[in-house]
A and B are shown apart, each in its own frame.
Chain A
Amino acid sequence: MEQKVKIQIDNHMVEVPKGTTILKAAQEIGIHIPTLCYMNLEDMCITNLPASCRMCVVEVEGRRNLAPACATPCDNGMRVKTSSLRVLNARKYVLELILSDHPTDCLICAKSGNCDLQNLAKRLKIREVLFKGEQSNYILETSPSIIRDMDKCIYCRRCEMMCNDVQTVGALAAVNRGFSSIIAPAFNQALSESECTYCGQCVAVCPVGALTENDHTNRLLEDLADPTKTVIVQTAPAVRAALGEEFGLKPGTSVTGKMVAALRELGFDKVFDTDFAADLTIMEEGTELLGRLTKFMEGDKNVSMPILTSCCPAWVNFFEYYFPDMLDIPSTARSPQQMFGSIAKSWWAEKMGIKREDLVVVSIMPCLAKKYECSRDEFKVNGDPDVNYSLSTRELVSLIKRANIDFNRLPDEDFDNPMGESTGAGVIFGTSGGVMEAALRTAYELYTGNVLENVNFENVRGLQGIKKATVNLNSFELKIGIAHGLGNARKLLNEIREGKSEFHAIEIMACPGGCIGGGGQPLHHGNSELLKARSQSLYHEDASKPLRKSHQNPFIIKLYEEYLGRPMSDKAHHLLHTCYFCKNSEIQEQ
């Protein structure tokens, strides 16, 4: 039986299981102790608990000094004060200390209004910073995806924890000591010279403006204002599941129709859907899977198994750096973003009679690695990128607000055709397990020739880090694995490297939860309920769609008929597939 302890917090008695922290016990009775470095995404086992900011200190009777509520377990009979003068005074001093080494240019900070530190300063009513002295002075660093402004770093270590413990990328680490302590890549070199995959999880958890995205909104405004250019947009599935949060809507509210209306209002010539390209991805990747599987079953030794999905650009960066010996394993299919760009600037542009140089393809993504992906040389024709640039969900939010659009009053509108049509399979790409589920729906029917009655593969859904499932294809047991978070991906990759993998196909998404938890999404501020709600909203949208299998998308069928021929044809190969490079310079040298 679980042991319980009774403690007194302020004037309330509370009984909690042994081991519960003071912070949680207080939360349960509605006492919200301020925190800063602390972060806990409970269902995903992601915790940042250095107990180092000292914002959450409380008074524990009989203890010499104040205790950090986040890391102090409740003891039976403990008496805690969370708001005594001693505590309030200490918190105020600690916050002032942080502010004394932090720029006060909040008005023009990228995180203004969305900053944990700013909120605390407001809550604790800081009106003056009494301590003056040396301030950190670092060089602002810009990479294709992420901007590092370390003058604003408060050394909460969340990004370090994400980069190392969760993602196992190890691009960021704590360096130096004392006042010069900072989170940085090795040798303070640029992110672009490090192992960084641009997954953006560091940005997603940064409580202040130290880590932000490379913002393209102004560039977009200029293009939209240019009458010589046709500007079209594609929106990734996960965007619609989170966008509403920033306009006060309940988490999980699907705002697809309003989002389309807003984009039209902003002045895009066409509003398309990345979901269309997701369906296209299934056609190519599914065909590739079946091809490899057939050869494998025929005993072809040249075929490597399992096949890995390749839609996630951070994941691609990850294996290019850490698993360059296995570049033949991932699917060669481009990501939906890039498939969209490639088709838009070929098939659609030709159809519409628009010259490539006059066409601007913009993507709205839940992701920061997509910004980098746009700039990869493989996805350019004569130097012109298939997707000109990518904006995050957060950037779209700010654009909508700047353009004086009352989002909640917008009517629901539909995407433009042909590249706005999608099936439910395309929608669920945005959440972990979705790509695999979509692929199974199509692969099953193509492989067995039977109609799949129940399209819901429940056991590939959910937030656990690694999921496994077996699907029966004409008595062949297809084993699939799903990982989200690069640390989980690494586990599966290591199994493959050691020849111990049981899977035929594996889906990998770099961000915890999949794209719904992407580095470009509205900040979750440590609330994992948000991620669950976003995921649910995508499954609802899938269920509400008349078509739920990618190969049934009429415009996909048309695209193949008119232009590509069949999946994996030469033309498809040229436009929709790619190849991978070893990114680890040390291994390259050897």
Chain B
Amino acid sequence: MITTDIKLSKCQIDEIVKICASFNNQSGELINILHKTQGHFGYLPKEVQEVIARQLDIPVSKVYGVVTFYSFFTMKPKGKHPISVCMGTACYVRGAEDVVEELKKQLNIKVGEATPDGKFSLDTLRCVGACGLAPVMTIGEKVYGHVDASKVKEMLDTFE
């Protein structure tokens, strides 16, 4: 099983119902609804998808099919400080791979995972559009340019 079982509270369910209603419960708005819901919960666990499916009157397998298709959607909670390393070509030729390897080593997790204490999670993304600063990574909202693999540890240490 992919997710841990969680129980949604009444007000969490109400929130999802509200989001769906704001899109008139239209199944064509599924992706917009998932965006909004993930924005609210941080991720899209099974239980959330089930409520959405019910509200839009579509099979939950279809919701799951869409969630698993798009890399932006996640069924796992992200870390407190989500790290994303740009794997665009410009960053790749300027050493982004080494940065990812170093992060994996330092955090002892794979790409797509979060550290057991929930502090960091590691992902790669396509292009931040800051190729002039390659290699680039983001931690939370902040963009870091000219990242040096050998300085990764130092950088991580600055986070609470």
Contact: B1 with A188, CB < 8 Å? Answer: yes
Determine whether the beta carbon of A177 is less than 8 Å from that of B59: no
Main secondary structure of the interface of B (DSSP, over half): helix
Contacts of B58 in A (CB 8 A): 170
Chain A residue with the shortest CB-CB distance to B58: A170
> Interface size class for chain A?
10 to 19
Of the listed stretches B62-70, B120-128, B138-146, name the one at the interface; the rest are far from the partner chain.
B62-70
Question: A189: which B residues are within 8 A, CB to CB?
Answer: 1
Q: Is B46 touching A586 in the complex (CB atoms < 8 A)?
A: no
8 Å CB interface, A544-590 against B = 586
B46 — which chain A residues lie within 8 A by C-beta?
186-187
Chain B residues in 8 Å Cβ range of A175: 61, 64-65, 68-69
Cβ–Cβ contact A173 & B61, under 8 A: yes
* Contact across chains for A586 and B50 when beta carbons are under 8 A apart: yes
> A586–B52 Cα gap in the complex (Å)?
12
A50 nearest CB across to chain B (Å): 14
> Quick check: A186 and B49 within 8 Å, CB to CB?
yes
Q: How many whole Å from B9's CB to the nearest CB in chain A?
A: 14
Partner of B61 from the list A170, A176, A177, A586 (CB cut-off 8 Å) is A170
Do B61 and A186 touch across chains, with their CB atoms under 8 A apart? yes
Give the CA-CA distance A185 to B64 in the complex, in Å.
Answer: 9
Q: Return chain A residues, CB-CB under 8 Å to B69.
A: 175-177
Contact mask B123-160 → A, CB, 8 Å, 1/0? 00000000000000000000000000000000000000
Residues of chain A within 8 A of B68, CB atoms compared: 175-177
Q: Known interface pairs A175-B68, A176-B68, A177-B69. Does A185 touch B54 (Cβ–Cβ under 8 Å)?
A: no
Q: How far is the CB of A270 from chain B (nearest CB, A)?
A: 43
0/1 interface trace, chain B 1-17, chain A, CB 8 Å (1 if under): 11100000000000000
The verdict on A187 contacting B62 (CB below 8 Å), with A176-B69, A586-B50, A586-B54 known, is no
Is A20 interfacial (CB-CB < 8 Å)? no
Q: Which residue of B lies closest to A188 (CB)?
A: B2
Q: Is the CB of A173 within 8 A of B50?
A: no
Task: Give the contact-size bracket for chain B.
Answer: 10 to 19
Among A175, A184, A186: residue with most chain B CB under 10 A: A186
Give the total number of A-B pairs whose CB atoms are below 8 A apart: 51
| A194 on the B face (CB < 8 A) | yes
B65 and A173 within 8 A (CB): yes
Give every chain B residue within 8 A of A176 (Cβ-Cβ). 68-69
Whole-angstrom distance between the Cβ of A163 and the nearest chain B Cβ: 9
Q: Which residue of B lies closest to A189 (CB)?
A: B1
Contact of A185 among B50, B53, B61, B63 (CB under 8 A): B61
- Choose from B2, B59, B64, B65 the contact partner of A195 (Cβ within 8 Å): B59
A184 to B69, CA, bound (A): 13
> Which residue from chain B places its CB closest to the CB of A585 in the assembled complex?
B50
- Choose among B49, B54, B61, B63 the residue that contacts A171 (Cβ–Cβ < 8 A): B61
Q: Which residue of B lies closest to A169 (CB)?
A: B59
Across the two chains, which residue of chain B brings its CB closest to A180?
B68
Q: What are 25 A-B residue pairs whose CB atoms fall within 8 Å in the complex? A: A164-B59, A164-B62, A170-B59, A170-B62, A171-B59, A172-B61, A173-B62, A173-B64, A173-B65, A175-B64, A175-B65, A175-B68, A176-B68, A176-B69, A177-B68, A177-B69, A185-B61, A186-B49, A186-B59, A186-B60, A186-B63, A187-B2, A187-B46, A189-B1, A586-B54
User: A-side interface residues toward B, CB under 8 Å?
Assistant: 164, 169-177, 184-189, 194-195, 586
